[in-house]
Amino acid sequence: MALTLPQEEIVEPPVWPSMDDAALDTIRVDYNRKIDYLYVFLYGKPLPAVWDPRPDGNIWIGLRLVGDDDWVDEVVGIMVAHFRRHAVRELPRWGKVLTATGSARRESLRGMIADVAAMPVNDEAERDVLSAR
Amino acid sequence: MATVAHWIGYRGRPVEPTDNGRVHILDGHAERAGRLTDIGNARAFSSLVLRDRRVRRAELLYGTAAGRSRIVVVVINRPAIVGWVGEVWTAYLTARTQEGEQLWR
């Protein structure tokens, strides 16, 4: 008799666009001072997205929406809540994405994208918590 | 700052979407264009409310999932003569509920 093993759902990691200097120069950074939210639009403008939180609860990545209720794993943006109140205090180098120009801006954006890409998704964090018990 | 509508939130408090919040939502969340009425749907506010981790007066209101995703409306409460009034800061789609202090379910 053939047995079927239970299938585990595999969560695919998000796919980040490759960012050369020309691509970095087209990135749009918006900061809303009133609500202290920062947006990094990787394709130069806001694209429809579903926002996926990182474990700290203040940072989301936008996954490209391809229908009313369907999306792909391609990252199109970063959203940071409490940017000056919290994020810049934790990671002061992020503040330069608003103030730097030219190569310094590219470098700060490259660093911020790398920082966010290295953050675990919530599922991973929850598994880590469970395995530590 | 103009108030563009008056709604009642999950605890009976007034919730005011402002033109500032509306512009922010349309500027930053292209997926919400043409769907702002979702935010005003009081039933959409009713499934789950979490307290913001950094700002105690801020709340995340999770709408009822209609499919794989659900709307999150971020509301900041401020004192007013009539009591606490909520102001909509932003709104976006998500497929995952983040961890946080649950205020209402």
Nearest to B29 among A46, A85, A122 (CB): A46
Task: Report the pLDDT averaged over residues A64-81.
Answer: 92
Residues 102-131 on A with a CB inside 8 Å of B are: 122
Best A32, A40, A64 member to test B by mutation, with max B CBs in 10 Å, is A32
Residue A18 has pLDDT above 60, yes or no: yes
DSSP string, A17-49: PP--HHHHHH-EEEEETTTTEEEEETTSS---E
**Average pLDDT for B89-97:** 87
Helix, strand, coil share of chain A (percent; to 5): 35, 25, 40
DSSP character string of B43-87? GGG-SEEEE-SS-TTEEEEEPPPSSS-EEEEEEEEEEETTEEEEE
> pTM of the entire structure?
0.83
Mean pLDDT computed over every residue of chain A = 85
ipTM value: 0.80
Find, among B38, B15, B29, B43, the residue nearest to B92 by Cα.
Answer: B29
Residue among B53, B66, B93 minimizing CB distance to A50: B93
pLDDT digits (tens, 9 = 90+) for A3-17: 555 554 456 789 999
Tell me the C-alpha distance between A71 and A59, whole Å: 19
- Please report which confidence band the pLDDT of residue A91 belongs to, taking 50, 70 and 90 as the band edges: very high
Alpha-carbon span B77 to B99, nearest angstrom: 20
pLDDT over 60 (residue B4): no
Which pLDDT belongs to residue A12? 72
- Chains A, B: CB contacts under 8 A, how many? 75
- In B, which residues are within 8 Å of A50 by CB distance? 31, 69, 93-95
**3-class DSSP state for residue B28?**
helix
| Strand order across the beta sheet in which B83-94 lies | B7-8, B14-16, B83-94, B70-80, B58-62, B48-51, B102-104
Report the percent of chain A where pLDDT is more than 70: 83
- C-alpha distances out from residue A71 to A48, A59, B45, Å: 9, 19, 23
What's the pLDDT tens digit per position in A54-70? 988 899 999 999 987 88
B83 touches A: beta carbon within 8 Å? no
At A123, is the secondary structure helix, strand, or coil?
A: helix
